[in-house]
Amino acid sequence: MHERRIPEWVRHAPAPSVREFGLLAGFEAIVRGILISVFPLAMYRALGDAPAVSLVYFLVGIVSLLAGLLVPYLIRFVPRRWAYSGGCIMFMAGALLAIDGRPEAVVGALALNTVAAVVTFICYNAYVLDYISKIELGRCETSRMFYSALGWTAGPMAGVLLMEVWPPAPFVISAAAAVAMLIMFWAMRLGDGKLITKARGQAKNPLAFLPRFFAQPRLVAGYLFAMIRSCGWWIYVVYLPIFAIQNGLGEQLGGILLSATNAMLFAAPLILRWVQGRSLRSAVRVGFAACAVCFLSAAGLSGWPVAAVSALVLGSVWLIVLDICAGLPFLMAVKPSERTEMSAIYSSYRDVSGILTPGVATLVLLVTPVAGVFAAGGMALMGAWAVAARLHPRLGRPRIALRPGSLSEPA
């Protein structure tokens, strides 16, 4: 009797490539990118008050932070693949809920979208650490940025323009992209990660890992870099459009400028080469210093709105540089046995920045105009520049080259 052989690729799925992880991130960029400039505008239209918008973002940030910390606990009962799939479904549900248009629906949609982002981010980072070697992390991060470029470049401008033509349009596109993201994820056959079969005993709550997290200075520094960089983006995405509206520069300007800035993502491979031409410490310090100067200049030039906006746009270019290099210190320091828990802690930088930024902004706006938020952001960025001085100058470079050309580029 003839024995039918099962193809090797069916029995053992090939390891996902850097390119496939980049494509998966690209779909998420479309899901989130087309709504990133729509939500602040929709919230400001519904509430009509900058401090009220800040308060909503503050509360949503708290919800998202709690959700992110619960993900590793959830994975004890729900496999990682289903957690990621659930995040995709929340993206779809949030987009469809926002079509309703009422203030409470928009707030609920923002909460679903934000929680979905943190759930998928935790799982995505854990998968990357499972399948991508440390020496390839720099290339993987660059690939992620490159494939995300289209969504983050065209999305913000398309979102605000389509909203004027047909309000549900950006939400429909976001939901469709979430479906494609889910299909791509299952096509990659990532399963529940490499370490899932090695687990012994019950998974620990990520809060139990906090002492070990704080005992590792590289993890703490990497977390601060990610959080402060994210605060800069919050200011640019939420408070630049409000500043533009208040100074008569139009409702669409924020989305258009965000798209123009994100076009720099196409230059991610060139930016990586710039980073590789110097130590990681030097690249991170230059990025934070230049960005801080731009944000502080925007605050000082607030009497000339066009000049202030131009300074913020220049600062956002340096934020993109930091997107590529400032997350590497944390990723390179994570131990394989702590991937899921440390990924959960790391992913909380989005939520912490989403709490701190509107929280501080609400207090600042009680005594200053919106430009005061730019100044606060500039001071935080300068603080990150000071912390980066403690990074090891050889961080990110191969330790030993076995033969000439064996390690052609640093990670």
Give me the DSSP letters along 61-104.
HHHHHHHHHHHHHHTTTS-HHHHHHHHHHHHHHHHHHHTT-SHH
pLDDT on residue 192: 64
DSSP 249: S
Residues 6+ apart with CB under 8 A from 402: none
Domains of the chain plus CATH, in order, are 15-194+206-390 (1.20.1250.20)
Question: One digit per residue, pLDDT tens: the chain, 411 residues?
Answer: 444 554 444 445 567 778 889 999 999 999 999 998 888 887 877 777 777 878 888 888 888 888 877 877 777 788 888 999 999 999 999 999 988 878 888 889 999 998 999 889 888 888 887 887 766 777 787 788 788 888 888 888 888 889 888 988 999 999 999 999 999 999 988 876 654 344 444 445 556 677 878 878 878 888 899 899 999 998 998 889 889 888 888 778 878 888 888 787 777 778 878 877 777 788 889 999 999 999 999 999 989 999 999 999 999 989 988 887 777 777 777 776 676 667 777 777 877 888 899 889 989 988 888 899 999 999 999 999 998 888 776 665 544 443 443 333 333
> What six digits make up the tokens of 36?
């990133």
Give this prediction's pTM: 0.70
Instruction: Specify the amino acid at residue 356.
Output: L
CA distances in angstroms from 308 to 36, 115, 247, 298, 358, listed in the order given: 21, 32, 11, 4, 20
Dihedral sign for Cα atoms in the order 121, 127, 130, 135: negative
DSSP 385: H
pLDDT on residue 199: 40
Dihedral sign for Cα atoms in the order 32, 38, 41, 47: negative
3-state secondary structure of 190: coil
